[in-house]
Chain A
Amino acid sequence: MSDTANTVNISQPQGRAPLAQVSTFSAFKATLKRDLLIALKRRNDLLNPLMFFLIVVSLFPLGVSSDPQELTRIAAGAVWVSALLASMLSLDNLFRADYEDGSLEQLLLSPQPLYFMVLAKNISHWLISGLPVVLLSPLLAYMLYLPADAYWTLVLTLLLGTPVLSLFGAIGVALTVGLGSRGLILAVIVLPLTVPVLIIGAKAVVDASLGVPLGMHYALLGALLALSLSLAPLASAAALKISVN
């Protein structure tokens, strides 16, 4: 055994060891790929938010009225509220499994900037749960008799708005991921934060059918997206650190 001890003392590099050269980008890609792979392997999780979205939207004609004129009036709001709820429902998958199996600790202890790691998870979450909703929305808009002028606006505003929902939602999930019984607390925390997106998005669709120019609406949504892209992952990262504590 003593020769092992000898090698210990001889092979000491002096000074601080050089940093392992890992590009953040490749870690970012790996995280993105991993999350997408997990989602693809769990088809149900992929489908559930979409089905939820479909069902909630189809509840509106049943609950409100099947009268086309009335549905036309509420179409924009109904689709937007349903998209909001669907993205809220799917948020649970964002950090939960990673927290439970310990992968989250590995992520937090990686020498990568956490901002990009959280961003990668956010992007994959949006690709899985947000994008399908955006793609399905024209069909539902048709079922609710949304005026034809507003279709593109609906798709575009959802395209700009649903990432914001994911990003804000991630903060709430990160704050509550360690809680045993989260229940509705996630919704209570996150839903008020999403009010601006809902207001602007739904209003843009209404205004599009009225022929109002929409530059302002897109600018506001874009500003929200830029703001949340730059700040929300930082807040989520900080929240994750608090939650694993």
Chain B
Amino acid sequence: MWQWFFRLGSPKWFYEMSGKWLPWLLVLMTVLMSVGILWALLFVPQDYQQGDTIRIMYVHVPVASISLACFPLMAVAGVITLVWKMKLADMVAKCAAPIGAWFTAVALATGAIWGQPIWGTWWAWDARLTSMLIQFFLLIGVIALRSAIESPDAAAKACALLAIVGAINVPIIKYSVEWWNTLHQPSSDFSMDENSAFGPEIWVPLVIMIFAVYIFFVISLILSTRNEILQRERRSQWVVDIVAKEQV
């Protein structure tokens, strides 16, 4: 078990293994994504209130759920970086931050577009959108700190620490924003749990899309982590070999 854990820490091993996984993941993602999107666009019945905007949910909810998972992921990677000094964990954390920021930005944009017909405005200080916006700021902070510190080693540790502090804060922020919001104005009936009639024809495609987008997240994380590995290990022989072999 531990041996496996530490082997995973070897960038070269990860690079080789992820190269084997990638095609399978891509196939799986393409299949799930096509099924999910076609289902969502063609077969999901219109909502009696929201009409066809219900189809936005199949993009917004998966993207938002992953952007929420990003901070815990970075915090776990941060703990591994600080405790076991595993370089791979830092590479993953470094790559996860911008990808997470992109997911958060897309979640915010799709949330705004979904909300427009309901609120009559593109932006509302809804609890979910607000806490997502603040999480976006936190991610920008981590990225800014990473680019500000020159020494990669110090940057790794500093960002690991900030990610941990941020991850502790995210639930606090979420709770306080919800508390602030619910007391200010009645919660908009925009949340999923309030759609009482929630049959399988609604949630099955949603689950498929969530899986598809999760795999997409994993793929893009692996892709940029592989680049990061090449960059950091560029002086080692196996990377030199790859550079020499690859057709560009």
Contacts and interface: CB of A to CB of B under 8 A. Distances in A.
A binds B: yes
Interface of A: 171, 175-176, 178-179, 181-182, 185, 188-189, 191-193, 195-196, 199-200, 203, 207, 220, 224, 231, 235, 238-239, 242-243, 245
B157 interface: yes
A239 B183 contact: no
Interface of B: 82, 134-135, 137-138, 140-141, 144-145, 148-149, 151, 153-154, 157-158, 161-162, 164-166, 168-169, 172-173, 175-177, 179-180, 183
Given A239-B158, A243-B158, A171 B148 contact: no
Nearest to B153: A245
A188 B154 contact: no
A210 B154 CA distance: 49
Contacts of A181: 148
Contacts of B144: 185, 188-189
7 contacts: A179-B149, A189-B144, A192-B141, A192-B166, A195-B177, A199-B176, A235-B161
A201 to B, nearest CB: 10
B162 A189 contact: yes
What 8 pairs between A and B have smallest CB-CB spacing?
A196-B176, A192-B137, A189-B141, A242-B157, A199-B180, A192-B138, A188-B141, A199-B176
Contacts of B164: 235
Contacts of A207: 183
B172 A242 contact: no
A188 B137 contact: yes
A152 B151 CA distance: 48
Contacts of B169: 192-193, 196
A213 B165 CA distance: 32
A196 B173 contact: yes
Majority secondary structure, B binding face: helix
A195 B135 CA distance: 11
A175 B177 CA distance: 26
A148 to B, nearest CB: 23
Contacts of A171: 161-162, 165
A35 B174 CA distance: 36
Contacts of A191: 137
A242 B157 CA distance: 7
Contact of B154 (A178, A196, A200, A231): A178
B228 to A, nearest CB: 20
A138 to B, nearest CB: 24
B46 to A, nearest CB: 37
Contact of B172 (A178, A188, A196): A196
B148 A243 contact: no
B148 A195 contact: no
A195 B199 CA distance: 38
Given A193-B138, A235-B165, A185 B145 contact: yes
A203 B165 contact: no
A171 B177 CA distance: 22
Nearest to A187: B141
Given A188-B144, A189-B145, A196-B173, A175 B158 contact: yes
Nearest to A203: B180
